[in-house]
Chains A and B, each alone.
Chain A
Amino acid sequence: MNDGTMLPTAVFRRAFVAALAAFALSDVFADDLYVSTRVLADPTADQPAPAAELSAGGVFCNSPEAMLGVRLELEGTGGYDMAANGAYTSGGAELDASFGGDTARFVMLAGISGGIQPDVPAWTTPGLRARFIVDGPNSSIMIQPGVFVQYGGDEPRFGVDGLARLSVAAGDFILKPECEVSWTEYDSGTREFVLMPKVAASWYPGFPMTVSMDSGWKRTFDEDGAATDTLLGGFWAITSIGSVSLASVDVSFEIGADTWAADAEAELAFVVLADGDVVLSLPVGFAYSRLIDGTSMVSLSAGVKLEF
């Protein structure tokens, strides 16, 4: 459909039609829908040029979670990057069905995501996950095996993964030790096995602010058995400003033996209208990203978001 030269008007037309359809159907069988548009630019680029984006998404068929719950989540983003002189789109759909009662649940998740970007082959990633959850009054255990395939993109691959997590309440904190394993085979024939133990914690104090943090260690084995170690970490803080506006800071990093990568984002979402579930906000953001190859990007953005 696209080789990176899709006209921006076509991208926006499709996103606009999707947003209109979502709005029309929102009262019937959907909730938590959103439409947002923003302009972003990298002021540190040699020739700074803005990109414009339109995103829409939401949850459909969200049946009450009693014995059987079904929900479908869709989201998509279309944009035009003037610096790269090309359009980009990405989107995803996730369908999950959950069965169970108050203490144990089984959730099947089927998802697919995909995208088209300038200079990158179109990609799509279907996946399937099963999630088993056993809840106690102040703790919970989750085991989640999954399988995924990536067609196209930079590195087509097939993989299986698994996650085991314990969540325990401790005062104002919820502590979440977890371990993730994955095995991936790339189209080029290379294989890798990843073992990633991690500890995450969420802090919910007695005021409208929350902090989530995690730290872990990733050991990657290549097909010859050689291991590479990486230290992982992350921090996400959100607070309410005034009554309804939100400020957030989101930082994550990976530190390897020779290099490092990091992402940092800060956003202020000024709410200008709030009427029940209808919220109109003006988000402004700053983002910094450093890739493992040493290249870095800065992005400033401003936009409008409507949630309904």
Chain B
Amino acid sequence: MTRAALVIAILSLMVSGGRADDAIGEWFATDPALQYAGVRAAVAEAAAPAVAAGVPSVLFVERLREAAAKRIKPDLLPAAIAAEAARLLSVNAAARESGFILDGPVRLAALRRASLLLRAGTGIASIKGAYRAAQLANRGAEAALEAVAVAADIRARTGIGVEGADLLASSLIRSSIDWPKYRSLEAIFVKGRASGLSGSTLVEIACGALDSGGTFVRIEQEIERRTGK
């Protein structure tokens, strides 16, 4: 690399880093943030560890906008941002440890989605497991996180437990099904439950079908075989 190119790269990093760091400050200069002026320093301090680790500060701005829209009390904001920072740090680390090199909008979307999953009650271990399965199956972070989200929703509706949800997510990721279609599995589980099959039986059927190269056709066929419906 020439000396000029090196200087340009360093300057680019400085400029982009500066912009990211300023995003929170810029938000505090807007009208909706007026009521939170008193906690500006505490919010910046709460977000600092994640921003220093490379988490885009725009993710915090989204949470600040949400808090303002919901008229969250100012004294609750630093703790909420600190909790968000902890979540973003852990999902950022999970992606890195799993070998995912995410960049740009894909990284932003993955961090946002993974943090939302943690807020909704999914454990970080489930996300790490899905990232590992996605790496092995040569799938992207979108597939991993969509599989975790679908499995979490199925878990909420059928009581399959964390272990069952993780098995389901891994099988979805390894399957030949395109990730935008993962949601159909939730509808298949609704049919299976209405047909009298328990959540654990449906996990067994779905994982067995997907792990043996099948798709939703085979899952449906097995449900119909077992229930006659």
Contacts and interface: CB of A to CB of B under 8 A. Distances in A.
B194 interface: yes
Interface in B121-172: 153, 156-161
A59 interface: yes
B120 to A, nearest CB: 13
A264 interface: no
Interface in B175-191: 176, 181, 183-191
A208 B187 contact: yes
A71 B226 CA distance: 9
A154 B83 CA distance: 70
B40 interface: no
Interface stretch (A44-52, A117-125, A198-206): A198-206
A62 B128 CA distance: 33
B214 interface: yes
A32 B199 CA distance: 9
Given A204-B184, A207-B186, A274-B159, 10 more contacts: A31-B201, A64-B204, A135-B218, A174-B217, A204-B191, A206-B183, A210-B188, A275-B159, A307-B196, A307-B198
Interface stretch (A13-21, A185-193, A236-244, A252-260): A236-244
A274 B193 CA distance: 12
Nearest to B176: A137
Interface in A115-167: 131, 133, 135, 137-140, 142, 167
Contacts of B212: 101-102
Contacts of B199: 276-277
Contacts of B186: 206-208
A289 interface: no
A137 B213 contact: yes
B100 interface: no
B23 interface: no
B78 interface: no
Contacts of B74: none
B22 to A, nearest CB: 38
B197 interface: yes
Given A244-B157, A275-B159, A137 B188 contact: no
A31 B198 contact: yes
Contacts of B160: 276
A209 B194 CA distance: 11
B178 to A, nearest CB: 11
Contacts of A102: 212-214
A171 B181 CA distance: 8
Given A137-B214, A209-B187, A243-B157, A248 B194 contact: yes
Nearest to A59: B226
Contact of B200 (A31, A64, A206): A31
Nearest to B150: A206
A168 interface: yes
Contacts of B218: 135, 140
Contact of A210 (B190, B200, B204, B217): B190
A32 B158 contact: no
Contacts, number: 115
A31 B198 CA distance: 8
Interface of A: 31-32, 34, 59, 64-65, 71, 73, 101-103, 107, 131, 133, 135, 137-140, 142, 167-169, 172, 174, 202-210, 212, 236, 238-240, 243-244, 246, 248, 274-277, 279, 307
Contact of A135 (B183, B217, B225): B217
A133 B226 CA distance: 14
A52 B181 CA distance: 44
Contact of A174 (B156, B158, B185, B216): B216
Given A206-B183, A207-B186, A207-B187, A65 B215 contact: no
B194 A139 contact: no
Contact of A205 (B161, B184, B194, B197): B184
Given A102-B213, A137-B213, A169-B216, A277 B200 contact: yes
Of all A-B residue pairs in the complex, the 5 with the closest CB atoms, nearest first, are A206-B183, A204-B187, A204-B184, A277-B198, A102-B212
B184 A139 contact: no
Nearest to A140: B217
Nearest to B212: A102
Nearest to B193: A246
Given A208-B157, A210-B187, A244-B158, A107 B220 contact: no
29 contacts: A32-B196, A32-B197, A59-B226, A71-B226, A73-B226, A101-B212, A103-B213, A135-B221, A138-B217, A140-B217, A167-B217, A169-B215, A169-B216, A172-B181, A204-B187, A204-B188, A205-B183, A206-B183, A207-B183, A207-B187, A208-B189, A210-B188, A240-B157, A240-B190, A244-B156, A244-B159, A276-B200, A279-B159, A307-B198
A213 to B, nearest CB: 13
Nearest to A65: B208
Contact of B217 (A71, A169, A244, A275): A169
